[in-house]
Structure 1
Amino acid sequence: MEEVLLISRFMTRTLILLSLCFMWVPPGVVCRTGNASASSSSSSSSSLKPKVINIGSLFTLNSVIGRAARPALQAAIDDVNADPTILNGVELKLVLHDTNCSSFVGTVEALQLMESEVAVAIGPQSSGIAHVISHVVNELHVPLLSFGATDPTLSSLQYPYFLRTTHSDYFQMYAVADLVDLFGWREVIAIFVDDDYGRSGISVLGDALAKKRAKISYKAAFSHGDPKSKINDLLVEVNLMESRVYVVHVNPDTGLNIFAVANALNMMSGNYVWIATDWLPTYLDSMEAADPDTMNLLQGVVALRRYTPDTNLKKSFMSRWKNLKYNGSASPAGFNSFALYAYDSVWLAAHALEVFLNEGGNFSFSKDPTLHVANGSMLHLESLHVFNGGQQLLSTLLRMNFTGLSGQIQFDPDKHLVHPAYDVLNVGGTGMRRIGYWSNYSHLSIVPPESLYTKPPNLSTGSQHLYSVIWPGETTAKPRGWVFPNNGQPLRIAVPNRVGYKEFASKDKGPQGVRGYCIDVFEAAISLLPYAVPRTYMLYGDGKRNPNYNELVSQVAQNKYDAAVGDISIVTNRTKIVDFTQPYMESGLVVVAPVKEAKSNPWAFLKPFTKEMWFVTAAFFLFVGAVVWILEHRINHEFRGPPSQQLITIFWLVFLTHLCPLLNRWLLFI
């Protein structure tokens, strides 16, 4: 008990001393026990926040898109660094690498870029290079913001770190399909560059046209570096085909060669339809001034351009455009829409990095355990590091929502920018005029897309409108869109070669080889068509006996003949395999007689009677007379008497009952 009391007393004294120590505070010191942990966390967070964050960029500097994107990227970096309301003193630094329009060079440049430990990579503009570089950023967990790679297949789950800051060609191809459907064309010819960008876009176009009950009748592909002679051979082959509606999906740097060759081949005249994707407005917008020679090549072309609202923010940037300086150059390249998307890509990265850092994101890099350095290797793969906060930053990018130069920057669940829309343009004179808009919300319209977002979507056929189009050949009349191919075969028309009723259809020595009433009706119908129909008449049958009409119809169904003209009856079993025109006459029981009056012959009614028929008729008369005599001989006294009298009576009765009606008809005939 004493030991317990001593311990308790000791503990009491100790607690008193400790309480006195805590109660004593040195002069000038303020205690904030409630915020101690917050203060510690804040100091720790600020100490971990980097002073400089590298933003990588990968694209072809010497290109139509690259010459506009480069000053836009640098201007965006300068604007972010000059804005005190974002990133709170953290400086963005642009690390620029040139892919030189090569997948191999792009891969090497991407690896060199990753050595700089960038948080975000911007670019590339080429879809083919984007496919390769996406594998690099996937491995190192670095988000890739592309302002120019529009290949629809890049949005797949295979490339989780690829994020497109422009609109996918998926939407553009559906806009093209709506244009084709609006004008009622059913076949198009696709002319495209043979790479990932061209092939994937045309593949989507085929799917979009199929939903409109149309199709791509021929795919004309060429390589990026093909000379004009090879393009000439390609267009000559295309010009021999039936369709006259061409969809051109190429690169802006070389696409103009298509129209230069087409103009030389007289394919920019009437009855031709040319639809260009956004590459053409990109090229024309980048020109310092309209070139008359270039514009003359493009008269009547319909093109699509990515739509960006005319906001004050956009107008302010465009007013600064000519005053931007980069690397001592007093005037950067011509402006195009890709400059807006490149500028917004930097601001998207800046907004996401600010949220990432405020949420305590881990801005650090670590070695990739899958990258091993081989003995004697000069690749230095050990310098490539994985961004530890890449997954968190990617999630932050996907939930960003702000208004940029190009419009609303927000992503849907499929990682597409919301509200995809396009201007529909018509090249004429010395420039381009807008004839309408296309949006994924309401499709073709003459009203700006943003004014329709507050209304219910209207996709009905009657709501699809565009202003009038001036087509190639300076005509406002809608081109038919097809012709009979120069390398095609004329229609094979089968004509029954009958023995009788040759007035309907028969063989003739004239240039057509056939004649008759059915042929005249068919030729009259052909003459009403607004275009020529090459045709060849082919006799079916030997002319010695009537052909089998069921076999004739079957051969039309089997495509041996394209059609048949003649006195072919419409019966049930035939309608199951071929289509018939509406009957142009009803026969019934009629007499076919020549229109020209001929000399009457009173004995014409006797012509059908043959010798055998006369013998049968005489025998029939005798038989009838004998039957009458047998029945009347016993009860009728007129049939009695001498045999000569009985014979006269019998013949007279037969004459009255059979020959008199025939004689009356003969008298009426003459």
Structure 2
Amino acid sequence: MADAQTIPIRVGVILDMDGYGEMAFNCLSMALSDFYSTHSHYKTRLLLTNRPPKGDVIGAASAGLDLLKNVQVQAILGPTFSSQASFLISLGEEAQVPIISYSATSPSLSSTGSPYFFRATLSDATQVDAIADIVEAFGWREVIPVYEENNFGEGIMPYLSDALGRVNARIPYRSVISTLATDDQIEAELYKLMTMQTRVFVVHMLSPLASRLFIIARKIGLMSRDCAWIVTNGITNELELLDQSTLESMLGVIGVRHHVPRSKELESFETRFNKQVLVGSKLSIFGLWAYDAATALAIAAEKANLRDVKYIQTSSNSTDLEGFGVSGDGPNLIKALSNTTFTGLAGNFRLVDGELEAPPLEIVNFVGHGVRGIGYWTKDSRIVNELNSKSANLYADFTPKSKLGSVIWPGDTTSRPRGWVIPTNGRKLRVGVPVKAGFTEFVSVTWNADNSVRVEGYCIDVFEAVMAALPYGVSYEYIPFAYPNHTTAGDYNSLTYQVYLGVSIFAFFFFMISRAGEMFDNNMMNVQNYDIVAGDVTIVANRSQYVDFTLPYTESGVAMIVPLKDVKRKNAWIFLKPLTWELWLTSFCSFVFLGFLIWLLEHERNDRFQGSFWYQVGTIFWFGFSTMVFAHKEKLRSNLSKIMLIIWFLVVLILTQSYTASLASMLTVQKLQPAVTDVDFLIRNNKHVGYMQGSFVYGLLKKMNFPESHLVEYNSPEKLNELLSNGRIAAAFHEIPYIKLFLTKYCSGYTMIGPINKANGFGIVFPIGSPLVKDVSRAILNVTEGQKISEMEKKWLGVVNKCLDPDRLATPHNLGLGSFWGLN
């Protein structure tokens, strides 16, 4: 009676009955059996009709046409591959029949363009952010994707590229391997990878090709401790299909897969599946998704109240592509599917815009005999150690790498791979360095007897330390900016422009026509172009129009070097200088006042303070001023007078001693002052000034309205000292690092005034848009914030002497009332 009352709903299945297809079909059948055994009151019953697609796209299309036209199914489950699904989705939309795939993972398939397509599995794009976070966690900056040459492999690449770009990891090369590639072809491609410096690989392919890839990679030595391999769920979802030799070859590989929570229902199903299914059919996560897809369709069919009715014919055309009708229950069924939620074997089942809501990802490590979990990834918390809020908060202050468990890497080591090696045939970067006669402490280029080049100096040490601090290796060679006769080939503008010319042949000809002679001479035709310029190259605006600079690694600014002059004091009234006029006047009045007070207290009882009027006035003045040298001879009789005199002696002692010290200092200490302190003074008085050969300061001085005839060139500290000492120039303009170096040698006679102009210090030059600029700038920060930069400065530039400050060397200040306020 129950069977008579049920309504059969025909559902098409497009599966080849090979190992995978048999496993999936058994899961579909078991899902319906389990569901209707617990939902016997449901009126609808799904009936499965399988049409094998014969493993190709045309076969899948033919099977779909047969199911729609001849069987008139209400829904189709499948097909297996993404390449088979594209045309089938169009057929389903035409017939208004839902196409539900539990294994087509290519991101190129989307439910947005077709409301009748439901992905009951997860898109490959759901894992790219997790992979990018893993790359960022271990500090790798270059990644080579290795993927299968088909719709499955290529579909993920745009998403993976964007995700890696988010964490500033670049893709220098893409390794594409055909599904039909022979072992020799795979080996040849892997040998090609070995010639490159990058050793971080992201593998996205299915298990049959991946097995061959890793076995060959192990054989040729590409599974060494320098290498890092990350595999996508295309491999981790099919671990059951990997044999032991493949697992052993994948020792140290990191993989991501969608997390399947363990449950009693899942354990029960696995037990029953292993008992009921023939030996050789291994259960994978695609079987669990197939089980949940069938369950969801059974629930939706009941919700939509489907009936076993024929299609509505909308056209009299009898061709295969237009001969089928339209399912009248299709709109109701897709609405019911969109609102179906339950807890399935693979986790929570919920469709959002036709796509299965993504669960957390599990990060696993291949350990030779299988995999073990080392962490998880969620969209909100990123990399976490455990899947709970407490653990996420506990590790909130730790780096992503610290949230992962211990990892065994290729080579059976626990040390993180560098992710790069020196390439076997990679082209070295051409690093241009300036050639000059002076200030060689910054950059020095010398040629040996065999014509080999030796490059050293402070800037070179900084450059080498920065390149060593990069998270990957960069091979480079120094090429001096010089002619064959070892003379400099031009100024710093010309040197930096060679980087621009090195990447733009068209720009070279344009430059020769429109700017010949402005920044370099015509002999530049004989000089090599460069990939990088290292040295004492200042970051300035006109150069940034053609090249990119890193962050500066030296102090910035342009200042002025001027001689110190000795101000000698030859003044007949210098003995008055130690005290201010206020203090002189106050002292005079105080002496007179003291004499008057002593007279007032003594004249009635002391005959020495008696006599005629003018005699008493003279006594007052005599007694007051005689106390200055303690020469008074009058004996005092009043105790009050004696107390006052004792206090006054203390005041006089301090005053006289301070006067003596101040006068002695004025007569013996030099007063050194800058000969010039004002740039306008130099311009108004037509003074000659100096600038460094090849420096941008020449253009700066012209902008400051210095006549060109008043600009004198120098090329070394010795030449600069000569020009300043013999008066040929009144001042010299240079950048602060050079001035500090100059003062270490000639500190006593010169001082620095300024800075008078803002400059951005020395930087490393790259072509515009070079991906290395950001990495090198970060490395510069690491180097300049450490102790190593101080050691390099001490080695090459020495310790700048604490030159005597003219302000501190000036004659001591005159003493004033405020100096003795405490005596009141």
TM-score normalised according to structure 2 size: 0.59
C-alpha distance 397-48 of structure 1, shift in aligned 2 (>3 A):
farther
Aligned length: 529
Distance 1:50 1:273 in 2: 57
| Superposed displacement of residue 410, structure 1 | 1.3
| Superposed displacement of residue 401, structure 1 | 1.2
Query: Does the CA contact (< 8 Å) of 2:315 and 2:323 recur in 1?
Result: no
State whether structure 2 residue 62 is matched by structure 1 residue 98: no
Distance 1:93 1:546 in 2: 84
State whether structure 2 residue 367 is matched by structure 1 residue 428: yes
C-alpha distance 348-476 of structure 1, shift in aligned 2 (>3 A):
same
| Superposed displacement of residue 390, structure 1 | 0.5
C-alpha distance 253-547 of structure 1, shift in aligned 2 (>3 A):
closer
Cα shift readout 1:327-356 (whole Å, capped 9, x = no counterpart): xxx435112111111111111011111111
Determine which of 383, 390, 397 is the counterpart of 2:337: 397
Residues 561-576 of structure 1 mapped to structure 2, 5 A cutoff = 561-564=530-533
Give the equivalent residue in structure 2 for 1:260.
Answer: 215
Distance 2:464 2:141 in 1: 27
The letter of the residue matching 2:50 is L
Give the equivalent residue in structure 2 for 1:304.
Answer: 256
Give the equivalent residue in structure 2 for 1:597.
Answer: none
The secondary structure found in structure 2 opposite 1:345 is helix
Quote the RMSD (CA, aligned, Å).
3.5
Determine which of 255, 260, 267 is the counterpart of 1:315: 267
C-alpha distance 590-47 of structure 1, shift in aligned 2 (>3 A):
closer
C-alpha distance 524-93 of structure 1, shift in aligned 2 (>3 A):
closer
| Superposed displacement of residue 545, structure 1 | 6.3
Distance 1:185 1:457 in 2: 22
Give the equivalent residue in structure 1 for 2:416.
Answer: 478
Cα shift readout 1:167-217 (whole Å, capped 9, x = no counterpart): 111211222122112222222111112222221211111122222222332
Residues 109-120 of structure 1 mapped to structure 2, 5 A cutoff = 109-114=63-68, 115-120=70-75
Give the equivalent residue in structure 2 for 1:653.
Answer: none
| Superposed displacement of residue 509, structure 1 | 2.4
| Superposed displacement of residue 494, structure 1 | 2.7
Query: Does the CA contact (< 8 Å) of 1:169 and 1:201 recur in 2?
Result: yes
The letter of the residue matching 1:104 is I
C-alpha distance 585-70 of structure 1, shift in aligned 2 (>3 A):
farther
The secondary structure found in structure 2 opposite 1:423 is strand
The secondary structure found in structure 1 opposite 2:23 is helix
The letter of the residue matching 1:348 is A
The letter of the residue matching 1:103 is V
Determine which of 389, 404, 408 is the counterpart of 2:348: 408
Residues 29-40 of structure 1 mapped to structure 2, 5 A cutoff = none
State whether structure 2 residue 212 is matched by structure 1 residue 58: no
C-alpha distance 492-121 of structure 1, shift in aligned 2 (>3 A):
same
Residues 267-306 of structure 1 mapped to structure 2, 5 A cutoff = 267-286=222-241, 291-306=243-258
Query: Does the CA contact (< 8 Å) of 2:101 and 2:119 recur in 1?
Result: yes
Query: Does the CA contact (< 8 Å) of 1:269 and 1:472 recur in 2?
Result: yes
The secondary structure found in structure 1 opposite 2:403 is coil
Distance 1:456 1:138 in 2: 49
Give the equivalent residue in structure 1 for 2:285.
Answer: 337
The letter of the residue matching 2:356 is L
| Superposed displacement of residue 257, structure 1 | 1.6
Query: Does the CA contact (< 8 Å) of 1:492 and 1:561 recur in 2?
Result: yes
Determine which of 46, 68, 91 is the counterpart of 1:136: 91
Give the equivalent residue in structure 1 for 2:769.
Answer: none
Distance 1:197 1:373 in 2: 35
In the alignment, structure 2 segments of 5+ residues that lack a partner are 503-528, 555-736, 747-824
Residues 239-250 of structure 1 mapped to structure 2, 5 A cutoff = 239-250=194-205
Distance 1:355 1:408 in 2: 19
Cα shift readout 1:392-449 (whole Å, capped 9, x = no counterpart): 100100001111111111122x222224222111001311101111223322212126
C-alpha distance 500-465 of structure 1, shift in aligned 2 (>3 A):
closer
Cα shift readout 1:132-169 (whole Å, capped 9, x = no counterpart): 21111111111111111111232243222110111111
Query: Does the CA contact (< 8 Å) of 1:86 and 1:354 recur in 2?
Result: no
Give the equivalent residue in structure 1 for 2:742.
Answer: 588
Bigger shift: 231-240 or 143-152?
A: 231-240
Query: Does the CA contact (< 8 Å) of 1:371 and 1:381 recur in 2?
Result: no
Give the equivalent residue in structure 2 for 1:492.
Answer: 430
| Superposed displacement of residue 52, structure 1 | 1.8
The letter of the residue matching 1:331 is V
The letter of the residue matching 2:45 is E
Bigger shift: 427-436 or 73-82?
A: 73-82
State whether structure 2 residue 480 is matched by structure 1 residue 538: yes
State whether structure 2 residue 387 is matched by structure 1 residue 448: yes
C-alpha distance 105-459 of structure 1, shift in aligned 2 (>3 A):
farther
The secondary structure found in structure 2 opposite 1:254 is helix
Determine which of 492, 512, 522 is the counterpart of 1:549: 492
Query: Does the CA contact (< 8 Å) of 2:204 and 2:235 recur in 1?
Result: no
The letter of the residue matching 2:163 is A
Cα shift readout 1:594-626 (whole Å, capped 9, x = no counterpart): xxxxxxxxxxxxxxxxxxxxxxxxxxxxxxxxx
C-alpha distance 170-526 of structure 1, shift in aligned 2 (>3 A):
closer
The letter of the residue matching 1:165 is A
Determine which of 411, 429, 439 is the counterpart of 2:378: 439
| Superposed displacement of residue 366, structure 1 | 2.4
Distance 1:341 1:545 in 2: 71
Determine which of 156, 174, 181 is the counterpart of 2:129: 174
The letter of the residue matching 1:373 is S
Query: Does the CA contact (< 8 Å) of 2:137 and 2:400 recur in 1?
Result: no
Distance 1:324 1:371 in 2: 47
In the alignment, structure 1 segments of 5+ residues that lack a partner are 1-45, 375-379, 593-670
Distance 1:371 1:511 in 2: 88
Give the equivalent residue in structure 1 for 2:177.
Answer: 222
Query: Does the CA contact (< 8 Å) of 1:206 and 1:216 recur in 2?
Result: yes
Give the equivalent residue in structure 1 for 2:154.
Answer: 199
The secondary structure found in structure 1 opposite 2:174 is strand
The secondary structure found in structure 2 opposite 1:98 is coil
Query: Does the CA contact (< 8 Å) of 1:444 and 1:464 recur in 2?
Result: no
Distance 1:212 1:49 in 2: 60
State whether structure 2 residue 295 is matched by structure 1 residue 356: no
Distance 2:535 2:402 in 1: 44
Bigger shift: 198-207 or 389-398?
A: 198-207
The secondary structure found in structure 1 opposite 2:64 is helix
The secondary structure found in structure 2 opposite 1:153 is coil
Query: Does the CA contact (< 8 Å) of 1:363 and 1:389 recur in 2?
Result: no
Query: Does the CA contact (< 8 Å) of 2:312 and 2:328 recur in 1?
Result: no
The letter of the residue matching 2:324 is L
Give the equivalent residue in structure 2 for 1:108.
Answer: 62
TM-score normalised according to structure 1 size: 0.71
Distance 1:82 1:571 in 2: 79
Distance 2:75 2:391 in 1: 32
Distance 1:159 1:169 in 2: 19
The secondary structure found in structure 2 opposite 1:155 is coil
C-alpha distance 437-193 of structure 1, shift in aligned 2 (>3 A):
same
C-alpha distance 464-348 of structure 1, shift in aligned 2 (>3 A):
farther
The letter of the residue matching 2:200 is V
Query: Does the CA contact (< 8 Å) of 1:435 and 1:446 recur in 2?
Result: yes
The letter of the residue matching 2:246 is T
Query: Does the CA contact (< 8 Å) of 2:460 and 2:535 recur in 1?
Result: no
C-alpha distance 520-481 of structure 1, shift in aligned 2 (>3 A):
closer
